[in-house]
Structure 1
């Protein structure tokens, strides 16, 4: 879909022209900064268990399979919470949603500090997962409220780059805390940071003007939003069966498979299979995150440039996300059969870093075929289904390692299964994502608030 002009025309409601909302550049970028920090904390929370995997397994004397179940417990309510909060987002402000989420993150770190057992680890991860399930989609929804459509490429990339930045920063810092002060100290630090962010957000994180929720533009009781009046709702079944939404979910699924495998098992793999010291493993994980960060900050803005030059969204953002997941899956397939430290590290970087490109792009393509008033709910559904691998991948990998003759052969099986899933989902994304065609079929306009 061609990009919008820099000054979108007014919408019309009856005979009355409705001016587009003002774009407050300074405030928009303050919100962007806060949301990037939100994602940094989010992914540090996700990463802490994997970074502490070896000392936790040693101290509690648990098997790979049990650790895998603990890791998968994070996703027990993750998708369901993302789905539920997506529907709530049309009635509750993004300010309130993100505030409650981050306070819950802080609380979720506390059980294991009182009693370090498998049940308390599971309880903390389940609560954390429930509070983080809506994080990516709702923070993107909050971000979109501050930018018109033609300005969302870079902010979207920055929001998702917070994930890579979170891993880039947290890997060495949390590893140092775990090594120097014990793994519990990392949980204390994350609880404190989450609480601080929540209270700062409550002060600055008001919702922006590019929002079609009826309450956002209603001046009188019972009056409909001008934008909402011009953007009719569509049945969710119809939206979800659209090729673009299915393809967007597919690319997210493949990227999430690699991400959940990385968060749960990559630190342990680097230490036990490549004989890395904790610091070297942390540096490797940071390097992979840095690679993802460069891709995110390069690819998404490039998509905006391509669209401004008339390249369709199918090829600029649809095919790109599918190809990225396919490349990551191909590297994953070759990794177990490669010798030499440097080639293996390069393949690890491609396998676990390239798929990140799909995350901001799958939101951008899905957003183009949904009425804005339903965007938050659809983002919740897309996030819920696209992140389902987190419920399966860590536990499956732990089972494969315990069932194999050696840990090496267990990891090989896990990598090959991951490669198959990623290549298939990437190809589906390339085939199905066609935003212009699907928006026309659904008769979805793209007003300034979409």
Structure 2
């Protein structure tokens, strides 16, 4: 093993507090906080939206456009974000993306007019779009496959912690300092994290001055080798049923998850008669259950369920449980039973989430950033469109049970999609596959 300067790497390198654990520092000490602060940016806009609407006199339609403009930009630039990570490396891309979205988070209060807010939110979405594919690609480079589920769990935890503590934290900042400062605070923190990322992280473990030789060998002993594939043409993606199936199943998953992220507070207050205080506490419990599902499944994957045949079955079961408990909760007349069912439903979604990103890493190999961007593209398109459809269904018939039942159907479709996903068979360029067969 050699360092990038050509000198031999010895086990003396990287000795210190994080000797042998540098990969966990990157995952838990940087990627988790970065993802958490990004979710705080989104929470700040959601919580401040009524104040902004009132202060600037925006109509409901104008405010909806402002809120959703971020998500359309975020979704549509997932694949370009993954391509940038592959082309320029995760260190450079995530640092520049962090600086970009921190700047536009800071500028959010200065939109002044409708078009100003829309443009700022679009530019913010463009910057944040690179984060997820780049983060997943980083974990694919820095962790052996037998540890990637636990690493993915840390990344997912950063995202979902925002739903547990985001709203109360933003409300406190707004009450104490004003709604503008909620954006200023998270922008400054995001900028600091972007600079820390540039300072601490390297694209490859072998090029990091503080990575011990033992840790580098540990990582590379079980990491997919894809250096031989110089370029994977788009036709290799387009002709792969797996490539389409993994995007479609994630769209199905975020249809269910989108209900919790967008409509759960309204449902608990309007349909179930909970007070705002009751909703604030009870509405956070399903997200706690999701985090538990993410961490629990991540540990089981790495230590027990290491073969993809078993993992696909667990992911399929997670879809079925998420759909079933969503419907059972909607049909229940008891609030405690409802909350229990919602916790089990979203917890099952968390189980599936762990498998989604592990599948992207194994299916894509060296192109995991591209596969991740593609998957997140479909999921976030559904995050933008799904809640709108739910609102239309409830608005037309006033029937939450019907709307939640239709969402549950997407869980069944997700199961079907998983039958076409085989992460143990990575994507390969057609010419490489044929040449390999000729050699054999």
Matched with 2:265 is 267
How far did 1:141 drift? 0.8
Aligned residue for 1:145, secondary structure, equals helix
Distance 1:159 1:278 in 2: 30
Aligned residue for 2:86, secondary structure, equals coil
Matched with 1:221 is none
How far did 1:34 drift? 0.4
Give yes or no for contact 1:68–1:398 (8 Å, CA) kept in 2: no
Let me know the Cα RMSD of the aligned residues. 3.4
Give yes or no for contact 1:178–1:185 (8 Å, CA) kept in 2: yes
Give yes or no for contact 1:172–1:286 (8 Å, CA) kept in 2: no
Alignment of 1:27 with 2:22, yes or no, is: yes
| Unaligned runs of at least 5 residues, structure 2 | 2-8, 208-223, 434-440
Distance 1:281 1:208 in 2: 45
Q: Structure 1 pair 307/344, CA: closer, same or farther in 2 (3 Å)?
A: closer
Alignment of 1:156 with 2:145, yes or no, is: no
CA deviation vs aligned residue, 1:336-363 (integer Å, no higher than 9, x gap) = 3322221222233234443132223112
User: Which of residues 331, 336, 341 in structure 1 aligns to 2:330?
Assistant: 336
How far did 1:266 drift? 2.7
Alignment of 1:374 with 2:377, yes or no, is: no
TM-score after normalising by structure 2 = 0.79
Matched with 2:413 is 424
Distance 1:181 1:56 in 2: 15
Alignment of 1:404 with 2:400, yes or no, is: no
Q: Structure 1 pair 61/322, CA: closer, same or farther in 2 (3 Å)?
A: farther
Give yes or no for contact 2:316–2:414 (8 Å, CA) kept in 1: yes
CA deviation vs aligned residue, 1:247-272 (integer Å, no higher than 9, x gap) = 43233212222333333333343444
| Unaligned runs of at least 5 residues, structure 1 | 1-9, 11-18, 212-225, 445-450
Aligned residue for 2:189, secondary structure, equals helix
How far did 1:124 drift? 3.4
User: Which of residues 196, 203, 208 in structure 2 aligns to 1:207?
Assistant: 203
Give yes or no for contact 2:253–2:410 (8 Å, CA) kept in 1: no
Matched with 1:105 is 101
Matched with 1:194 is 190
User: Which of residues 344, 354, 371 in structure 2 aligns to 1:350?
Assistant: 344
Structure 1 residues 9-408: aligned runs within 5 Å: 25-32=20-27, 33-52=29-48, 55=51, 67-115=63-111, 118-179=114-175, 181-209=177-205, 230-231=228-229, 233-308=231-306, 312-316=307-311, 318-370=312-364, 372-401=365-394, 403-404=395-396
Distance 1:297 1:48 in 2: 26
Matched positions, count: 402
Aligned residue for 2:191, secondary structure, equals helix
How far did 1:130 drift? 1.8
Distance 2:183 2:271 in 1: 26
Instruction: Give the helix-richer structure, 1 or 2.
Output: 2
Give yes or no for contact 1:64–1:398 (8 Å, CA) kept in 2: no
Structure possessing the higher relative contact order (Cα contacts under 8 Å, 6 or more residues apart): 1
Distance 2:198 2:425 in 1: 40
